[in-house]
Each structure stands twice: as structure tokens, then as C-alpha cells.
Amino acid sequence: MPENTRREETKPAPCTRYETGFFFPAADSRHIEWPNADEQAALDVCATCPLVARRNCLEGELSYAVDKQFGVVGGATAAQRKAIIRGRKAAQLAGVAA
């Protein structure tokens, strides 16, 4: 692992500088492609998270059921994570590796 990547991985996640509510706006957008303004603000913070940490964060959240998805986590909105979960389930049922 390159030295600069290792250094990035030891930094606290960018979201730790914000109140938890920042990542859980009052309303989740239902649109996969059009996050609302609050979601976009949180997505912008996640975009500064190191890639490996963001991927791990997302995968951890995807282990929860569709009806447990709220807010912005792992660089994805609840609607985006629901779509990923449903896509993986559909692929699993079809016998396709996702």
C-alpha cells in the first residue's frame, strides 16, 4: 500500500466533524439520481472520505435490509443503497454474481 494511502486510512473519517443529523436529513429523496440539497451536502462530505474507508462504510450499511436504509452513509443516499441491495438480490436470484 502506498505511503500516502496508509496515511489517509489513519485519519478520522470526515463525517466525525459533523453532527450525526447532518447525514440524516428530515427527508430522504426517492430518486436515485437526484439527491435533495441536504443529501447532496452530506454526499459532498463522503466524497472526501478515503476510498477504502468509504467502500467499507458502504458495504457495512448494505448488510442492513432495505427498510433500514436512511440518510447518507458510505457515499450513497438511502435510495441509492436500496437500489444496490435490490440489484444484488435480483442478481442473486438470477444466479448472477454481483
Q: Of 10 and 93, which CB lies nearer to ligand SF4 in the complex structure?
A: 10
For every residue of the chain, DSSP letters joined together read: --HHHHHHHHSPPGGGGS-GGGGS-SS--S-SS---HHHHHHHHHHTTS-HHHHHHHHHHHHTS-GGG--S-BTTB-HHHHHHHHHHHHHHHHHT---
Among 28, 29, 49, 80, binds ligand SF4 (CB under 6 A): 49
> Is there binding between residue 66 and ligand SF4 (CB under 6 A)?
no
Minimum distance between the CB of residue 93 and ligand SF4, rounded to whole angstroms? 28
Position 13 contacts ligand SF4 (CB under 6 A): yes
